[in-house]
Amino acid sequence: TVAQAERSLRELAQLAQTAGSEVVEGVIQRRDAPDPATYLGSGKVKELALIVADAGADTVICDGELSPGQLRKLEGIVKVKVVDRTWLILDIFAQHARSREGKAQVSLAQMQYLLPRLRGWGESLSRQAGGHAGGASGGLGTRGPGETKIETDRRRIRAQMTKLRRELKALEATRRTQRAAREASGIATVALAGYTNAGKSSVLNALTGAGVLVQDALFATLDPTVRKMRAPSGKELTLADTVGFVRHLPHDLVEAFRSTLIEVQEAKLIVHVVDGCDEDPFGQVSAVREVLNEIGAGEIPELIAINKSDIADPMDIVAFQGSFPGSIVVSAHTGAGLEELLARIDAELPHTLVAIEVTIPYGRGDLISQIHESGEQVKIVHIDTGSDVSALVPAALAADIERQGFLRVG
């Protein structure tokens, strides 16, 4: 619909501004399908060329993914650099990547995108510097692999991609080892997922005091942050804050970030943070769930948290809750609703049992009673110093027994 197209164009403008561009004009064309040659129809492309010339723009950003042929033909007509939504998002990721893993993931995604487009991008390298559209760092679309990578032949790019995949696989193995250690100790992972700028990092900070960087910007968080905390029941868990999602998130990017997104894939519960102030929260939910399905996390239990309740329209929140019963209204800024959110997380998490073998003195019948009440496969052998107990008990009870200094013999 026209309304959806206008919303998407506004988001594209926000993405462009995040990349450091100054947006001067926007154009929408109603068509059943993109023109196979130039994406827009021939008349609209001529109109676009006039707008570009009149506005003094040096870049055109298309709200879709252009084929190599479409990119070349559009640039030939408008006489300025043309990039599409996919490359714009990749460019933003290149700016925000901080860790070795994040940079490797972005580079891999950029190379996957550029490989079939080497000819088109090679021909337009003379127009890669951007004034209004690129900020001070060399122009939109010139970060990441950069011109030298684009000029290399396909063989060298493929070799570099193979190297990056090996590096990411090694980092993924490290993540798996860390997660396995957490799971072995009975610590469940809760993943924060949501649309970019929905406030996931703010929620993480509010719940754990993690001190994670919070910015009012798209894709401010790329590298996952994992923080340990204790639920109201005493259950230990970790909260993982990962990259935000967006409509039409490039498939190459999803593939490249799989090692990071494993924190979501292997979580026991997903807290889906929704921006209560967004003009289309339902569209946000659909876009996030689409990516969750793509990475194989669509069946993980989901708890929706509507954030920014302190500034959202109460009627909008009521309407949203009507469509998503069971969702929780919170404000990471004021702390409203966070206790309820923690209680729900606690209740929704699977009941994790930990194997213990411990000697309990005869004077601590209270502990024996707790083990009987909440444990499974309880076996007790009475000895001179007390009772040797082996059982499967909740992680919180196991931690409590250990804190009290009783000997763990297994």
Do the first three CATH levels of 2-155 and 186-348 match, i.e. the same topology? yes
385: tokens are: 């110093």
Neighbour tally for 43: CB within 10 Å: 9
pLDDT, position 106 = 86
CA–CA distances in Å: residue 353 to residues 177, 187, 375, 391, 397:
20, 10, 8, 9, 9
Identify the band that residue 398 occupies on the pLDDT scale cut at 50, 70 and 90. confident
Q: Which amino acid does the sequence have at 115?
A: L
pLDDT, position 379 = 92
Identify the band that residue 293 occupies on the pLDDT scale cut at 50, 70 and 90. very high
285: closest CA among 269, 306, 268? 306
185: tokens are: 């100790």
Q: Which amino acid does the sequence have at 163?
A: K
pLDDT, position 259 = 66
More confidently predicted of 15 and 235? 15
pLDDT, position 127 = 38
Chain centre distance of CA 15: 16
Whole-number Å distance between alpha carbons of 163 and 156: 11
Coil, strand, or helix at residue 248? Answer: coil
Cα dihedral: 246, 102, 330, 314 (round 10): -30
Please compute the mean of the pLDDT values over residues 37-42 and round it to a whole number: 94
Q: How do 353-360 and 81-84 pair as beta strands?
A: unpaired
Domain 2-155 belongs to what topology?
Rossmann fold (3.40.50)
Q: Which residues pair with 82 in a beta bridge?
A: 60
3-state SS, 96-113, equals HCCCHHHHHHHHHHHHHH
Question: Can you tell me which residue has the tokens 């200094």?
Answer: 405
From 3.40.630.30, 3.60.10.10, 3.40.50.300, 3.40.50.720, which CATH number describes the 186-348 domain? 3.40.50.300
Task: Flag the least confident range among 41-45, 175-179, 194-198, 313-317.
Answer: 175-179
Measured in degrees and rounded to the nearest 5, phi and psi for residue 283 equal -65, -35
Q: Which residues of 288-314 are buried (b: 16+ CB within 10 A; e: fewer)?
A: bbebbeebebeebebbbbbbbbeebee
65: tokens are: 């993914």
Identify the band that residue 284 occupies on the pLDDT scale cut at 50, 70 and 90. very high
pLDDT, position 145 = 52
DSSP state of 117: G
CA–CA distances in Å: residue 118 to residues 125, 128, 159, 191, 277:
10, 14, 15, 37, 41
Q: pTM (2 decimals)?
A: 0.75
Neighbour tally for 249: CB within 10 Å: 21
323: tokens are: 């469509």
Whole-number Å distance between alpha carbons of 239 and 341: 13
User: Do the beta carbons of residue 104 and residue 168 sit within 8 Å?
Assistant: yes
Task: Name the residue ranges covered by the structural domains of the chain.
Answer: 2-155, 186-348, 353-403
Whole-number Å distance between alpha carbons of 388 and 184: 22
Q: Which residues of 70-105 are buried (b: 16+ CB within 10 A; e: fewer)?
A: bbbbbbebbebbbbbbbbbbbbbbbbbbeeebbbbb
Rg (CA), the chain: 26
More confidently predicted of 38 and 139? 38
Measured in degrees and rounded to the nearest 5, phi and psi for residue 217 equal -155, 155
Chain centre distance of CA 110: 18
Give the CA count within 13 Å in the CB-facing half-sphere of 90. 30
Tens-digit pLDDT profile for residues 42-99: 999 999 999 999 999 999 999 999 998 999 999 999 999 999 999 998 898 888 887 7
Measured in degrees and rounded to the nearest 5, phi and psi for residue 81 equal -65, 140
User: E strands of 63-214, at which residues?
Assistant: 81-84, 188-194
